[in-house]
């Protein structure tokens, strides 16, 4: 789930809003480490869409 307000309960990670820093999509490995969880493809697509980034296929 993407929380643009940063106020939802639970574990989260700050993500830079500058799309140039992501090289065409959110790096799953970095999020996995930051959240200490596995990010599945569906969640990754949702996050890319929320950030208005292209999805990696």
Q: What is the pLDDT of residues 12-21, one digit of tens each?
A: 777 777 767 7
pLDDT one-digit tens code per residue, 4-50: 787 888 877 777 777 677 655 566 677 788 778 888 888 888 877 87
Kind and range of the H or E run holding 34? helix 28-35
What gap in Å lies between CA 11 and CA 13, rounded to an integer? 7
Given a cut of 80, whether residue 2 has pLDDT beyond it is no
30 CB contacts (<8 Å, ≥6 apart)? none
Most distant CA pair in the chain: distance in Å? Answer: 31
Q: For the chain, which residues make up each domain, given as ranges?
A: 12-57
At residue 28, the pLDDT reads 67
Q: Is the model's pTM score more than 0.85?
A: no
């Amino acid at each position: 789930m993407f929380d643009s307000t940063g106020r939802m309960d639970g574990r989260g990670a700050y993500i830079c809003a500058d799309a140039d820093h992501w090289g065409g999509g959110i790096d799953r490995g970095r999020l996995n480490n930051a959240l200490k969880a596995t990010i599945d493809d569906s969640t990754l697509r949702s996050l890319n869409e929320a950030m208005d980034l292209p999805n990696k296929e």
